[in-house]
Structure 1
Amino acid sequence: MSTAPEAPAGGAGAPVSQPSKIFKNCWSCRLISGGGLVLAGAYVFMAARNVMRSGGPTSMGTVAQITFAASLAAWGVVVIADPIGKAQRKT
């Protein structure tokens, strides 16, 4: 039988870090990262659109690229909106 060392009890001198709470409350962090994701989605979409505009055939790769662009933009909107931080748990 092995005995594992116990974790410290978290006395008065132990710092408590909450990095996830700081990130969720930082409006500018969410705006910059979400805006970057939306702009990345627009860039990927325009790259796929240029292929179609130049007369190239619409292939499965182009469709996948447009789908990826839409998911990047949606992810950016979710980061900006932060729906999890606003949700209330029902008890």
Structure 2
Amino acid sequence: MSTAPEAPVSKSNQMLKNCWSCRVISGGGLVLCGAYVFSAARRVMRQGGPTSMGTVAQITFAASLAAWGVVVLTDPVGKGQRKT
């Protein structure tokens, strides 16, 4: 049986995994972007505007941005594998 060769890891992807400050800046920026989008949607609701599907989509997008930022910060890929 032949095994498929592993995909080569790009230099930028490898650098992001090894560089803690790069991950903090990227992940923190994504979390802050999510907070900004959420606050913009919340501001419309606070001013008495109607809650529309657009507002719900904005809040969902803000949550996904923040979650993506947390994933970049924590870098969970390969953490569950035991190295022998």
Both structures adopt the same fold (TM-score exceeding 0.5): yes
Structure 1 residues 23, 45: CA separation in 2 closer, same or farther (over 3 Å shift)? Answer: same
Give TM-score scaled by structure 2 length: 0.80
Segments of 4+ moved more than 4 angstroms: none
Gapped regions of structure 1 (runs ≥ 5): 1-16
Q: Whose radius of gyration is greater, 1 or 2?
A: 1
Q: Can you list the C-alpha shifts for 1:32-66, whole angstroms capped at 9, x where unaligned?
A: 00000000000000000000000000000000000
Residue 22 of structure 1 deviates from its aligned partner by: 2.2
Distance (whole Å) between structure 2 residues aligned to residue 60 and residue 82 of structure 1:
32
* Residue matched to 1:49: 42
RMSD in angstroms over aligned alpha carbons? 1.9
Scaled by the length of structure 1, what TM-score is found? 0.75
Which of residues 56, 64, 67 in structure 1 aligns to 2:60? 67
**Count of equivalent residues:** 74
Gap runs ≥5 in structure 2: 1-8
Taking every aligned residue pair, what percent have the same amino acid on both sides? 78
